[in-house]
Structure 1
């Protein structure tokens, strides 16, 4: 009985110590992914603008 109580207490203590750290890391990870998506969206927009400008230049050269 003593052994199982000690194991249960140790497991509870370990769980309480680890969960907040892992939740913080998950939040930071999700935040990094959101920032990466934001940067990717800007790059895609810049690329579309560049392609549009180059297409216009190409049309001018064709004329």
Structure 2
């Protein structure tokens, strides 16, 4: 009976060693992808804001 808990601990330890580094790498990659997506969305928002400002100015010219 004493051997069973040791085998369980050993197998869980090996599983953790095998899985954790891969999942940490995937998490880092996922966070990097999210940061890149946020950066792209921020640029799009800036471009949209510029476009709206130009169109607003154009409309003001037309009103005059």
**TM bracket, shorter-chain basis:** over 0.9
TM-score normalised over the length of structure 2? 0.96
Q: CA RMSD in A?
A: 0.5
TM-score normalised over the length of structure 1? 0.97
Unaligned runs of 5+ in 1: none
Unaligned runs of 5+ in 2: none
Structure 1's consecutive aligned runs of 4 or more residues displaced over 2 angstroms after TM superposition are none
Alpha-carbon distance, 1:54 to partner: 0.1
Deviations 1:22-61 (A, max 9, x none): 1001000100010011001100100010001000110011
Distance 1:11 1:38 in 2: 39
Distance 2:56 2:6 in 1: 73
